[in-house]
Chains A and B, each alone.
Chain A
Amino acid sequence: MSKVVLQAAGLKKSFASPNGPLAVLRAVDLVVHAGESVSIRGSSGSGKTTLLQLLGGLETPEAGEVFINHAVQGLVTPRKLLGHGVGFVFQNYQLMPELTALENVVLAAKIIGQSRVEAKARELLQLVGLGDRLRHLPSQLSGGECQRVAIARALINEPAVILADEPTGNLDETTGKEVMKLLLDVVAQRQTALVLVTHSREFAEKAGRRLVLAGGVLSPA
């Protein structure tokens, strides 16, 4: 078995509601290995996005722990190493509107202190099929192209795992399929783990391991 790149144990999270705390995640355990792709499916409001945010360190769990494997530091909490061990792909791309495709990818590397990354960013954009769109602003790109830029940005820092939150949610069916194929291909090619949150059964089926989040608990599909 390959090494563990993401490990979550006993994750709990609840949100305030007029009727008191609403438990969204009750006790979530998850282990992801290098190069593995895992899909998490669930209905709207089941806590998929919250789980992904906990795994990526964007939210803090009420209980439980998350560890991400860092090439140098080993298993660390993601909150301490945002931008290093985890790459995000969001449903609405979350690109910087004033920056070009190339600059958006370069920015992710520069933020964590890496320099001379332009060649690598070009290579990644080439890899996702945007070699001729480097100088285009997000407003000049289609939804599918924006998501490809987001995938290149998620890969630039060579994370151990990519967390993708409904990456095809804003795309039409054909484009969604293309983007999903690309995402699965590049993570497989680069031996990067993928945790894919989606409500689409079709896309969830494409992952190596399929899980369902219901009642605040993860279980095999």
Chain B
Amino acid sequence: MVSILGVGLGVAALLVVQTVMNGFGEEHRLRIRESFGDCVVIANTPIEGPDVLMARLKADPAVLSASAYTEGPALARRGAFSGVAFVRGTDPLAKDQPARQYVVAGSFDGLDDGRVILGIGLARTLRVAVGDKIELWSPVMAEQAEQGKAPLPASLEVCAIVRTGFTEVDDRAAIIPLRRFRELWSLGERAHGVTLRLKDPANAVATAARLNVGKTGLNFIPWQEIKKNFLEAIRFEKTMLFFLMFIITLVASFSIGSTLFSAVIRRTREVGVLVALGAQRWQLVGLFGVQGLLIGALGTALGFILTWGILYFREGILNLINSLFGNGDMVANVYQFSKVPLHYDTTDFVVAAAFTLIVTTVAGLVPALWAAGRKPSEAMRDV
């Protein structure tokens, strides 16, 4: 019973960590896609006639939608507070604007040529709330000043504040209409890039490569490549945690080996009797091996149930940890997730089950081989 519990806890620890890590990974991937699009089309120079390019791309069966965007740094200022804003010009009427779902104050629909949407970090830097006004200085204005002109900054009212969960986005993001951006940056009808929504985002790498064929001067970057280092870091973190949890499960398996070994030693006399009655070596090995396998199977099943239970009540467990250690809501504060994200991966469950069954069976077989190798006359003398 203790062995089964040990295996169950090991399996549960492994799967809970893996499932939560998968959840974080999936959530981050989703945020990347929503923040940057499934695929981004960029060029070394601003794209001339982006409407033509968008029309061609929209005609592709793999593409759901395409929208032009512009982006560039600017100085944002309100009174004595200023910060560097990374301004994005986008179509305010587009219904699939991902920023819509990250609005924490105000309304995305209020965006027009006289208004701006700010990332929460930038809004804090500038000490502004919805309804306040800020000034935006574009690099073009600096050029104009150099030429002896006296440009006026764009005065924009904050109509919404967004929080994406990506600090680097939230601390610098400013969204204005595409038309207004082009005006402030003197871009004419050009755009810096086009974001694509794909029917099958998971297949973005292949789709991007296919779409890129024959489009000289353009770079199609799938979402997986946009934050490659970040995604690699998450994957590496998951691998390291798997390794640590693997050791925990291995320790649990050693306890099974020790328990079974004690059981075999306790039953040495009976093993001797079985041999005297004609039991073959393989029968004894099978008997104790099956015992190990059974412990592994029951432990794995218990581990699956515990995993489900822990993950089902994860919010309560997290609240308890937060209240005990006074860390506040870490998930919300650090990761900006409303709840602990989950993603069940069948492969993790299959690997955990297979690994546990193999280890527990081997843990049962080793003492069985020892017992089966003893002389029955000696074994029967043991009490």
Contact = CB atoms under 8 A, between A and B. Distances in A.
Interface of A: 53, 56, 58-59, 81-84, 88, 90, 94, 96-97, 107-108, 111-112, 153, 157
A111 B377 contact: no
Nearest to B279: A111
A58 B278 contact: no
Contacts of B380: 58, 90, 94
Interface of B: 269-270, 273-279, 283, 375-377, 380
B377 A82 contact: no
Contact of A82 (B269, B270, B275, B375): B275
23 contacts: A53-B377, A56-B276, A58-B275, A58-B276, A58-B376, A58-B380, A59-B375, A81-B278, A82-B277, A83-B276, A83-B278, A83-B279, A84-B278, A96-B270, A96-B273, A97-B270, A108-B277, A108-B278, A111-B283, A112-B277, A112-B278, A153-B277, A157-B278
Nearest to A156: B277
Q: Is the interface of A mostly helix, strand, loop or mixed?
A: loop
Contacts, number: 42
Given A58-B376, A58-B377, A90-B380, A82 B276 contact: yes
Given A58-B276, A112-B278, 18 more contacts: A56-B276, A59-B377, A82-B275, A83-B276, A83-B278, A83-B279, A88-B276, A88-B277, A90-B380, A94-B273, A94-B380, A96-B270, A96-B273, A97-B270, A107-B277, A108-B278, A111-B279, A157-B278
Contacts of B273: 94, 96
Nearest to A60: B375
A-B CB proximity, top 7 nearest: A83-B278, A82-B278, A112-B278, A58-B377, A94-B273, A53-B377, A58-B376
Contacts of A157: 278
A178 to B, nearest CB: 24
Contacts of A83: 276-279
Contacts of A53: 377
Contacts of B376: 58
Contacts of A81: 278
Given A90-B380, A94-B273, A96-B270, A111 B375 contact: no
Interface centre among A59, A111, A157 (most CB of B within 10 A): A111
Interface centre among B273, B274, B278, B283 (most CB of A within 10 A): B278
B26 to A, nearest CB: 50
B269 A94 contact: yes
A56 B375 CA distance: 13
A153 B278 CA distance: 12
B381 to A, nearest CB: 10
A94 B381 CA distance: 10
